[in-house]
Structure 1
Amino acid sequence: MVPVDVPGRFWPFADAFVAGATVVIDRPKGSGHPRFPQITYPLDYGYLEGTQAIDGGGVDIWRGSLSGGRVTGVIASMDLMKRDGELKLLIACTAEEMEVILAFHNQADFVAGALIERPAGV
């Protein structure tokens, strides 16, 4: 049986997941995408060292300007070129930063992203 408060249960798990890993920023804000240099990263982008995503690399993260390591949202991303889908954790992002990240994941015809924001008070 699935617990009744699944969304409320997810966010503390996400925070613990991030707290147990080292954040590696391999694409700093303002840097170009390695394969598509015309695409610029609007915020720091990287991964959690010692974790594994569906693509075999570390779990991807975006880091915003708020203090701390709280997960403020998640991007569910689908890529038709790579034929994959994955979650990207948004760490310490403001509402405005999350909208910028969402736009980043929807700027090409072959990728799409959906934003799941952490509810207030959770």
Structure 2
Amino acid sequence: MNTYENNAFFWQKLDTLLLSSKLVVDRPRNSSHYKYSNLVYPVDYGYLNDTMSSDQSPIDVFRGSEKSSLVQAIAVSADILKKDCEVKLLVGCSEEEIHDILEFLNQTEFQKAVLLRRGNEVPEWAQND
């Protein structure tokens, strides 16, 4: 049995968060990280106003160049310096931009990230949702 099942209802909830919140881009494409000038954002990066993630900050979003109002993937990162894990939404990103985001999130020895792509399947256990 797979430990990961791609539940369409999960992605619908993320879409609802995205569509019901204002996306604030505070780090435009090609800008440097405020602490680490060698880290350059490959796409627009910001957050969903009036939301909260596990670190008590708003939900983070990478916004690519393509027109889309759906969450296409999430990046889950583990950071040993901050001692945390974070989820970041990817919206409107081309395959090249997704590659660049993963490269950006994995470029230091202190932080690593994985990508979970959107699926449309509904697992058997979720059929009654």
User: Normalising by the residue count of structure 1, what TM-score does the alignment of the two structures yield?
Assistant: 0.90
Q: Is the 8 A contact 1:70 1:91 kept in 2?
A: yes
- Report % sequence identity: 36
Match in the other structure for 2:78: 78
Q: Which residue of 1 aligns with 2:117?
A: 117
Equivalent-residue separation in structure 1 for 2:117 and 2:71 (angstroms): 9
Contact 1:76/1:85 (8 A) holds in 2 = yes
Distance in 2 of aligned mates of 1:48 and 1:61: 7
In terms of Rg, which structure is larger?
2
Match of 2:103 in 1: 103
Report the equivalent of 2:127.
Answer: none
Alignment of 1:1-122 (within 5 A): 7-119=7-119
Q: Compare relative contact order (CA 8 Å, sep 6+) and give the higher one, 1 or 2.
A: 2
Normalised TM-score (structure 2)? 0.85
What's the offset of the Cα at 1:121? 8.5
Deviations 1:24-74 (A, max 9, x none): 000000100011011111100010000011222110000011113211100
Letter of the aligned partner of 2:87 in structure 1? Answer: L
State the number of aligned residues.
118
Which amino acid in the other structure matches residue 39 of structure 2?
I
Q: CA RMSD in A?
A: 1.7
How far apart in 2 are the matches of 1:10 and 1:42? 26
Which letter does structure 2 place at the counterpart of 1:52? M
Q: CA deviation at 1:119?
A: 2.9
CA distance in 2, matches of 1:120, 1:104: 27
The ranges of structure 1 where at least 4 consecutive aligned residues each deviate by more than 2 angstroms after the TM superposition are: 119-122
